[in-house]
Chain A
C-alpha cells in the first residue's frame, strides 16, 4: 500500500478506475464482494469492509483520507431511504435548525435533509463540530428549545466533546445524532461510539431498527427537555439511513412532553410558612427556565419584599427591580435557594445560622466521573424539584398567609432593601468613569457607549459577561430572560464565539439585536464560526474585547511566579497573543463579514457601534475590533 501511495501511477490508476465507474479497492484493484447486508441495506457498493467483522484499512480508505476518493457509483436505487423517516421524526419534534460539519457516517440523513425535507429544518454549515454543538448551546439558551447537531463517527464526536461538556455543565438541552457504522474508514466507526461522551450526556442510545431510531429520538428529546436539562445523543447506523424503509413506513411515535417535577404540596406549605414568618428572608436565584419563571419570581419577591440575589449567571431577576441585590444589612434568617450553584455558577446562598431551603433539580442529575455540580448546595430542607414548576403553588400559599399586618411589615422592610439596592446600583454605575479616557479602552466605556444605542431596541447580550467585567449588568437595564444568557457552563473556552452565533440565530426571528463582547483567546479556538454567521446571514454585533492575550492565565502565572520568588518578567510567554498582533477586522473580512477596527481611542467607539448596529438591524453580522484593558 505504501508503494501504491508513493507512485503517481498507482494513484492515477486508481482514479481512472474510479472515474470509469468501477468499484475498486485501490490496494488490490479487484472488485470487493458485497456482503448480503450491504447489498440489502446500505446500498453503498464499493466502499469495502463488511459490517460484521473488523474492517481492515484498505486503499479506498486511504484514498478517502487523502481526499482522492470519489463516491462509488450508485448500483441500486433506494427511493424511500430510512433517513427520510428520521426527518419526519425530527420535524415532528419542531426542530428548526440542524448544525453540522459534513461526514459520510450521516450522509444519508444529510441527503434527506436537503432533498426530502428541502432544507427545513435549515442546515447550518459549521467549520468545526465544537461550533456545531456550541451553537446549539447558545441557541437553546436564547429560545428555550433544542436544535439538532449531527456528528461524524468518532472524530466528529471527539471534536464536539468539550462543547457537549459545557452544555452538560450548564444544564442545557441539545439533541445530537452521530453516524456510526460508516464502513469507508475503519477509524471512523466504533464498537461503542457514545462511550467517549457518555459521562457528560444525560442519555445515549444506539437503536437497531428504523422504528427504534424514531422512538429513541422522541425519548432523547423528552429527556433533554425535562429538568435538569442536558444534551442527549442518538447514534444512528449508516445503513439504517441509507437502506430502504420497510414496506410499512413506521409511524412517528406519539410525543408528549412530561411536566417538570414540582415540590409536593405539604412541603410547599411549610416553605411558605417559613418565608412569611421570617424576619429577614432572602432568595438566591440560581436559575429559572423561562420568562414566566422570572415573572413568578418577581411576584414572590414583591409579596415578601425580600432581596433576590441573581448570582451573576444568566437572567433570573430584573437587575433594576427594587429587590434586586443584597438589600439592607442584617443576617438572613431564611434563605430560599432556587436551582443555585452548579456548573452554571452563581446564587449559591447559604444562611449562617439561619435556615436554608433548597429547591433544585441538581440531585436529579447524577454525574459520572466529572463532579460538575461540586458538592451542591447544602440545605436544612432540600426539595429535589424544579423551582419554576413549584413557584405558582408557592406564591399561592404565601398569598394565603398574608395578613394586613404582615403586608405593612413587609412593605417597611422592602423600603429599606430598595433604598440600599438603589444606592448600590448608582455607585456601581458611577465607577464607569474610572479609566474613561484610557487607551487601550476600558470595558466600562464599551458597555457605557453601547447602552444609549440599544436601550430602545429589543436586544440580547449573548456572550459570557465575566471576562468583560460584568459592566452590562452594572449599566444596562436587564429585565427579560434573554437579556443575558450566562457563561460557558463548564468553563471551556471556545464557547463564546459559536454560542453567540447560535443565540443570535435564535434571536433572528424576533428581530432582536444580539450583542457579543468577544474575548480574543476564545475567538481563536475556532474562528470559522465567523463564516457560518456570514453565510447564514445571522445578525450579531461582535465587539472584540481584544486584550491581546489569555489574560486570565497571565494573572495566574504572575501569581505562581511570585509564590516562587522568581519574578514576573517571563509571564508573557505562553500567555500573550502579541508579536504579531492579530487583526480581527481582517479576520472577519476574510470570512465575509463587515468589520471595523482596531479601535484604540474610546472616542471612536460610539460612531463605530452606531454603524455596526445599523448593519445588524439589516440582518448582517458585524465585527468591531477594540483594543482593551486586560480586565474590567
Chain B
C-alpha cells in the first residue's frame, strides 16, 4: 500500500514539475492553471498540517469526516466545498488560510491515496458481516 502511494506520488511529482514548474515562473496569472493540477507532494504535508487527517484519517477514509477516497470531486467542486462545507462538523477553510493553489495540492494528494478493497473481496469482512447479519 505504502509503495503504491509512493509510486503515485512520484508520478504526480513528475507531472507537476515536468508540465507546470515553468508556469510557476509566470507568477499569479499561472495560479489558476497550477490549481487545476496541484502538487501531491506538497499536498501530503498540508493534508497533515491543516488537520484534514484529523477527521478524515491519514488514509483519507477513516474517521468522523466523510470518506474522501476515492476522490470523485473535481478540483473546483472540492475547493468550493472546503471553503464552505455548510455543516458545523467540517471546519471551513478560507482563502486566507489555504489558497486555491494549496487546496489543489491537497486535492492532488488525496487523489493519490489508495482506495480500500471492496468488502466482498475481504473474506474476514464477509465472515463478520454474515455473523452480524444473522
Contact = CB atoms under 8 A, between A and B. Distances in A.
B97 interface: yes
Interface in B44-73: 49-51, 53-55, 57-59, 61-64, 67
A607 to B, nearest CB: 14
Contact of A474 (B122, B127, B132): B132
A555 B90 CA distance: 10
Contact of A426 (B94, B116, B133): B133
Interface centre among A433, A443, A477, A571 (most CB of B within 10 A): A433
7 contacts: A425-B133, A426-B132, A435-B62, A440-B59, A562-B92, A571-B51, A630-B53
B98 interface: yes
A629 B54 CA distance: 9
A449 B63 CA distance: 19
Given A429-B125, A438-B59, A442-B59, A555 B134 contact: no
State which size class the interface on A falls in.
Answer: 35 or more
A516 B50 CA distance: 31
A568 B62 contact: no
B124 A629 contact: no
B59 A551 contact: no
A553 to B, nearest CB: 10
A452 interface: yes
A568 B91 CA distance: 10
A428 B51 contact: no
A558 B91 contact: yes
Nearest to A455: B131
B26 interface: no
A597 B124 CA distance: 23
Contacts of A629: 57-59, 62-63
Interface in B98-134: 98, 114, 116-119, 122, 124-125, 127-129, 131-134
Contact of A436 (B49, B54, B58, B125): B125
B91 A435 contact: no
Given A435-B57, A448-B124, A320 B134 contact: yes
Interface of A: 320, 422-423, 425-426, 428-430, 432-440, 442-444, 448-449, 451-452, 474-475, 477, 551, 554-555, 558-559, 561-563, 565-569, 571-572, 629-632
Contacts of B54: 551, 554-555, 558, 571, 630-631
Given A434-B67, A631-B55, A429 B50 contact: no
Nearest to A560: B91
B115 to A, nearest CB: 10
Contacts of A433: 116-119, 122, 125
A440 B1 CA distance: 11
Interface centre among B53, B55, B63 (most CB of A within 10 A): B63
B36 to A, nearest CB: 23
A428 B129 CA distance: 8
A600 to B, nearest CB: 9
A568 B97 contact: yes
Contacts of B78: none
A567 B59 contact: no
Contacts of A423: 133
A428 B131 CA distance: 12
B51 A558 contact: yes
A444 B97 CA distance: 33
A452 B116 contact: no
Contacts of B63: 629-632
State which size class the interface on B falls in.
Answer: 35 or more
B116 A440 contact: no
A571 B117 CA distance: 32
Contacts of A432: 119, 125, 128
Contact of B124 (A449, A563, A566): A449
A567 B97 contact: yes
A434 B117 CA distance: 8
Given A432-B125, A631-B62, 11 more contacts: A422-B134, A428-B132, A434-B62, A435-B61, A438-B61, A438-B116, A440-B58, A448-B124, A551-B54, A631-B55, A632-B62
A370 to B, nearest CB: 28
Nearest to B113: A438
Contacts of B28: none
Contacts of A428: 132
Contacts of A426: 129, 132-133
Contacts of A451: 128
A432 B2 CA distance: 20
A374 B71 CA distance: 42
Contacts of B64: 555, 631-632
Nearest to A553: B54
Given A565-B97, A631-B62, A477 B131 contact: yes
A323 to B, nearest CB: 14
Nearest to A562: B91
A439 B124 contact: no
A559 B131 CA distance: 38
A16 B2 CA distance: 66
B132 to A, nearest CB: 4
Contacts of A554: 51, 54
B58 A452 contact: no
Nearest to A569: B49
B96 A565 contact: yes
Contact of B2 (A320, A439, A449, A571): A439
A429 B133 CA distance: 8
A448 B124 CA distance: 7
- Can you list the 7 inter-chain pairs with the closest CB atoms, starting with the nearest? A562-B91, A426-B133, A438-B59, A558-B51, A433-B119, A429-B132, A567-B97
Interface centre among B55, B92, B118 (most CB of A within 10 A): B55
Interface centre among B55, B128, B129 (most CB of A within 10 A): B128
A631 B53 CA distance: 10
Contacts of A572: 49
Contact of A630 (B58, B118, B119): B58
Nearest to A554: B54
Contacts of B1: 437-439
A565 B84 CA distance: 12
Contacts of B93: 562, 567-568
B51 A430 contact: no
B120 to A, nearest CB: 9
